[in-house]
Structure 1
Amino acid sequence: MKAVIHEKIKGFNGLSFSDMKVTEPESEQVRIKVKAAGLNHRDLFVLDRHKETDPPFIIGSDGAGVIDSIGENVSNVKIGDEVMINPGLHWPNTSDAPPQGFEVLGFPSDGTFAEYVIVPADSVETKPDYLTWEEAGVLSLAALTAYRALFTRGEVQPGMKVFIPGIGSGVATFLLQFAKAAGATVYVSSRSEEKRTKALELGAEKAIDSHGDWEQELGGAKMDLVIECVGAATFNKSLDTLRRGGTIVTFGSSTGDMIDFDLRKFFYGQLNLLGSTMGSSEEYKEMLSFIKTHEIRPVLDEVFPLEQYEEAFNKLEKANQLGKVGFAISK
């Protein structure tokens, strides 16, 4: 089978479009013929984590396709079923934090940027009929991350004011769509006028320039909840948008991991700081139910043939996308 693999050299130079052997699923596993898959920033990060001495692996966490083969002791699906893959492995029930053994598909395990992928049977769910293959293929990781950050950790409620800095990524666009569907009033920021315009079309109350004076551009409005994924570049400005007693949930740090902030302002303001990452299988099922109820579709920026992986990776690295970048893999 054809696959995008990484080996020997750290970073982009270790990627290639190559042939890999198709294997059979073991007990409690299924093999999926992948119809479509989605890129995430994680796919960029693991290129530097994979050591030169490690064996080749297939990259990719998101995907959707048709059950092609099943191992022993599999009863939840059958050959021919159309499914989506939950990339969060070994986290069955919602909990304060992932259990020991939790990992994400696509490193160290082989991932979805291939014609076939083998996953645990309990990591697949039925594809909603209204989603195209491309929509289903790009959805899971970003939508699950957004769902846990917004609902489980942020406890969003109707009428809340929610602020999402750095609109444009897959997770951020899902956060906007989910928060609107939950009855919140949503504010966003971006350096890009195009992304701000798209956010308004998706239902944002206001889309402000990331380089501007946020207090002035928000008209003095204070937020109940901020969902932060940008990191050092925006964290303190995000804190300043919160009302007294407000909450900030963070799940990313694309502009740097280390920050300084005013601790006295933080505790006098009775603020809440929560971390979040991915989500459980239970939350994944809840997320799918939520998107079906509200018929939410991912914002698709561009879909590439798998052999054009270099163009797709470059687009994601430059943050030129609005929404999700995906691969069409098989018909």
Structure 2
Amino acid sequence: MLAAVLHGMNQEISLEERPSLIPAPDHTVVSVQFAAMNHRDLWIQKGQYAGLKYPIILGSDGMGTVEGKQVIILPGMDWGDHEAYQSRTYRILGLPDDGTFAEEVLVPTGNLFPKPDHLSDEEAAALPLAGLTAYRATFVKAQVQPGESVLITGIGGGVATLAMQMALAAGANVYVTSGSSEKIEQAMRMGAQGGVNYQDESWPQALKKMSGGIHKIVDGAAGRSLGLAIECLLPGGIAVNYGGTTGPIEIIPQRLFWNQVTLKGTTMGSKSDFAAMLSFVGKHKIHPVIAGVFPLNKINEAFAFLKSTAQFGKVVLAIPSL
């Protein structure tokens, strides 16, 4: 099989022929049709991820076929028995297990779900990791309700964009942040009530003025910006964080305890979260936004596009058929 292999830190991806995969007990070989990229893949390439090992086939997201039937892959493995948190042996496809940037991938049979009928193959590949993370953050942790004002930070990223789409489908009033006015405008065309550019130092004041205050925050940046976003929360509000791209959270403690604010962490989600996410996406006919599709032999160009932060939505890889 053809596979995109990373051999070491800060190296380009190389295309190589690998032996075809052999099914293992309780595991199934999926013929991959499309895969999708995440910033996790970039962090592994840069050596900024725990448990690094090389060589590795990256890729957490994908869809393909098993015995002629199209399937979508749950990328998280061995969540465990507790819905509230993952087990110590929880892991994500693409490290340490070889991932979806190949013609075949071996996954636990229980991680395969029918591809949603309303999605194209490219959209189905783009959904799993970002959709699962967004769903758990938005509904399990933030408990977003109709009519609430919800702030989604860093719009344009895969998780943020799907979180916005889900919150809108649930009847929330969504506001966004971005360093790009164009991305804010695109979010508003998709239904967001408004947005602020976080490069403007007065953005918290502008957000409070346009929204009247925020009930819930879904954030993947952390850093100083999350602390500023929390200043926009109404008393009793909830902030949920799923990532730390800008570093340690900087919060004035009084903003939390005096306003009875709750700060929650979340990552990925359980198998039941994934099933609930697929049901919600199917019910509301949500389509992941595709920023670009690259053939597998252009994977290094796809990585460069993802690094540029120019994209709005997900970057997808087309996998050649065997």
Normalising by structure 2, report the TM-score.
Answer: 0.94
Secondary structure, aligned partner of 2:237: strand
How many angstroms apart in 2 are the aligned matches of 1:116 and 1:134? 17
Secondary structure, aligned partner of 2:249: coil
Alignment of 1:151-300 (within 5 A): 151-212=139-200, 213-218=202-207, 219=209, 221-256=212-247, 258-300=248-290
Query: Partner of 1:65 in structure 2?
Result: 64
Query: Partner of 2:93 in structure 1?
Result: 105
Q: 1:53 to 1:300 in 2, by over 3 A?
A: closer
Query: Partner of 1:324 in structure 2?
Result: 314
> Is it true that 1:85 corresponds to 2:69 in the alignment?
no
Secondary structure, aligned partner of 2:276: helix
Give the stretch that moved more between structures: 214-223 or 45-54.
Answer: 45-54
How many angstroms apart in 2 are the aligned matches of 1:49 and 1:19? 27
Q: 1:330 to 1:186 in 2, by over 3 A?
A: same
C-alpha displacement of 1:15: 2.3
C-alpha displacement of 1:293: 0.3
Counterpart among 38, 42, 45 of residue 43 in structure 2? 45
Secondary structure, aligned partner of 2:127: helix
Secondary structure, aligned partner of 2:215: strand
Report the AA paired with residue 6 of structure 1: L
> Is it true that 1:144 corresponds to 2:142 in the alignment?
no
The gaps in structure 1 that reach 5 residues or longer are 68-78
Q: Are the counterparts in 1 of residues 154 and 176 from structure 2 also a CA contact under 8 Å?
A: yes
How many angstroms apart in 2 are the aligned matches of 1:320 and 1:93? 39
Q: Are the counterparts in 1 of residues 52 and 95 from structure 2 also a CA contact under 8 Å?
A: no
Query: Partner of 1:56 in structure 2?
Result: 55
Give the stretch that moved more between structures: 160-169 or 262-271.
Answer: 262-271
Q: Are the counterparts in 2 of residues 166 and 210 from structure 1 also a CA contact under 8 Å?
A: no
Q: 1:92 to 1:285 in 2, by over 3 A?
A: farther
How many angstroms apart in 2 are the aligned matches of 1:52 and 1:100? 13
Provide Cα deviations, 1:120-165, integer angstroms capped at 9, x if missing partner: 0000100012211111111100000000001111111111110011
How many angstroms apart in 2 are the aligned matches of 1:249 and 1:51? 22
Query: Partner of 1:23 in structure 2?
Result: 21
Q: Are the counterparts in 1 of residues 80 and 86 from structure 2 also a CA contact under 8 Å?
A: no
How many angstroms apart in 2 are the aligned matches of 1:250 and 1:113? 28
Report the AA paired with residue 242 of structure 2: F
How many angstroms apart in 1 are the aligned matches of 2:100 and 2:290? 18
How many angstroms apart in 2 are the aligned matches of 1:158 and 1:92? 31
Provide Cα deviations, 1:237-280, integer angstroms capped at 9, x if missing partner: 11111011111000111111x23321123211111000000000
C-alpha displacement of 1:100: 2.4
How many angstroms apart in 2 are the aligned matches of 1:159 and 1:277? 26
Secondary structure, aligned partner of 2:254: helix
> Is it true that 1:3 corresponds to 2:10 in the alignment?
no
Report the AA paired with residue 272 of structure 2: E
How many angstroms apart in 2 are the aligned matches of 1:185 and 1:143? 19
Percent same amino acid at aligned positions? 39
Give the stretch that moved more between structures: 146-155 or 215-224.
Answer: 215-224
How many angstroms apart in 1 are the aligned matches of 2:158 and 2:317? 15
How many angstroms apart in 1 are the aligned matches of 2:289 and 2:33? 18
How many angstroms apart in 1 are the aligned matches of 2:51 and 2:87? 29
Query: Partner of 2:112 in structure 1?
Result: 124
How many angstroms apart in 2 are the aligned matches of 1:227 and 1:320? 21
